[in-house]
Amino acid sequence: MIKVLSVTSECAPLVKTGGLADVAGALPLALAPLGVEMRTLLPGYPAVMGAVARGKVVLEDADLFGGPAKVLAAEAAGIDLLVLDAPHLFARPGGPYADAGGRDWPDNPERFAALSWIGAEIAGGSMAGWRPDILHGHDWQAGFAPWYLRDRHPGAGVGTVMTIHNIAFQGKAGVDRLPGLRLRPEGMTQDGFEFWGDISALKAGLVAADKITTVSPTYAGELLTPDFGMGMDGLLRARSGVLSGILNGVDLAAWTPPYKTPAGKARHKAKLRGEMGLPDSDGPLCVVVSRLTHQKGLDLLIDALPRLIDRGGQLALLGAGEKGLEEAFLRAAGHSHVAVRLGYDAALARLLIEGGDAILVPSRFEPCGLTQMYGLRFGTLPLVAYTGGLVDTVIDATPAGLRAGAATGVQFHPVTADALARALDRLCDLYAKPDLWLSLQKNAMRHPVGWDQSAADYLALYQSLDRQD
C-alpha cells in the first residue's frame, strides 16, 4: 500500500472551475484498486465545508497565515478528504480564486501558500495517525508544498510529485511578500523560486519536486520549447529527466452515452436543434462547449465559420469568457444556422455532446483537454488543433488513418483560421459519406478514454518514489 497526499485547490464534485478538479476527483477512485491510499487536501471553501460539516479535527494551527485553522478528516463523494478549515482565508463568497465580480483575491498568494504549508506539515509528520509516502501537488496553488517540505523537513523521506495542469498560471507574487509567505530570502535566486524578479509558487514546486508530470505526453514535449514553456522552458529542459506526461482520463460512469450505437444520436440531435432553435440542415451540426478565450482559439472559428455555413453545416455554442469573443459569436448568431448560449449550463453542455455531430476544439495550446474525449465517448467526432493532449487522443482521418480503419476525428495544423477552414471542409466531406462517417463514429466510441492506463502510469511513478524500503 502506497499512501499519497494529493494537494489541490479544486476537486470535483465539491468545487470545480476546470479540468484540474476532474483529475483531482478521479485520481483517488482510479488508484484505489491498485493499492494506493490517497487523501486529498482541499481548502475549506463554503461549498466544501457544507459537505464535511461532521469532519474530525486531525490537526490544528493557531496562526496559519493570519488566523487560526484546523484540518478536518472526512469523506465525500467516495474521496478521503483533509479539509483546511481556515475561515480567514477561505470562508468567502465568489469562486475559489476570485470574488463575485471576477476580481482575484489580493491575498491569493498567502491563501494557497497556507494550503501548501499544511500539506508539507502533514507530509512532515505533524498529523497523528497518518503520514504519506508521497506528496503530490497540483498546479501553482500547491507549488510551495514540495518547497516547504524540503526546507522544513529535509529528512522526512517523503517523495514529491508536481503536476502541471496548465503552465500559463504560475502563482506570481512580489518579492515584498517573502516574509508573509514564510520564505527564506536565499530562495530568491534563479535556482530557487525567483522568476523574472517575482516569486513564483509554480517554479518553487518545479525546482523542489522529485518528479514532474503534466497531463499529456505531447504537452510534456511542448513545455520544453519557448513557444509553450511560458518562460519556464529552460528550467524544464534542465529537469527533463524527471518530467513525464501522463494523459488524463474521463469518468466513464459519469460520461456514458444514453445510446449504444451512433444511430441513437438522432433523437438527441433533434432535441438539441429544438433547444437551440436551429432548423434542419444537410451538413454536420458542430458544437462548442468552452471558455471563450484566446487560448481556446475561438477567434479563429469566427473567421472560419463562413466555410462551415457555406457547406450546409451548423454551429451550436455554449460558453462565456472574453467580451470581444462573446459579442462576435452573438453577431454570428444572426445567421439561422448559428446558435449561441452565453454562460454555462451542465445539462445543456451534455445535450450538445449527446446530440452534436462534431465537437470543435481549435485551441492554440491544450495541455490535455477533456471535451474532445467526451466527444469520442459519445460518437461526436472531434475536430481539434494539432497540439498537446488533442494530438494524443484524436486519430486524424488522413488517407492512412482511414485505410487503417483507425481514424476518430480531424486534426489541423498550423493553428490558423485558414487551416481551420480547410479542416471544416474535410469534416464536411467526411459527413457527406454516411457509411464512412458511421465507421468514424464507431471508432470514436470504442476509443479508450478512461483512467485504466493513466492510473497504472501514476502507480509506476509513485512506486519509483516510494522510499518505505
Show binding-site residues. 16
Q: Rounded to whole angstroms, how far apart are CA atoms 54 and 36?
A: 25
CA-to-CA separations, 2 to 31, 122, 135, 394, 461, in angstroms, rounded: 10, 16, 11, 33, 11
Show binding-site residues for ADP-alpha-D-glucose. 16
> 3-class DSSP state for residue 14?
coil
Question: Are 249 and 450 within 8 A, CB to CB?
Answer: yes
CA-based nearest residue to 48, from 124, 104, 106, 115? 115
What's the grid cell of residue 72? Answer: 478536518
Question: Are 169 and 158 within 8 A, CB to CB?
Answer: no
Peptide bond into 414 cis (omega under 30): yes
CA-to-CA separations, 101 to 93, 170, 201, 232, in angstroms, rounded: 10, 22, 25, 31
Q: Which helix (H) or strand (E) holds 119?
A: helix 108-123
Question: Are 233 and 224 within 8 A, CB to CB?
Answer: yes
CA-based nearest residue to 193, from 185, 208, 203, 179? 203
What's the grid cell of residue 466? Answer: 516510494
User: 110 Cβ partners below 8 Å, 6+ apart?
Assistant: 65, 66, 89, 177, 180, 181
Maximal C-alpha separation, the chain: 68
CA-based nearest residue to 42, from 118, 128, 103? 118
Q: Is residue 133 classed exposed, middle or buried when 0-12, 13-18 and 19+ CB atoms within 10 A define those classes? A: buried
**What one-character DSSP code corresponds to residue 225?**
S
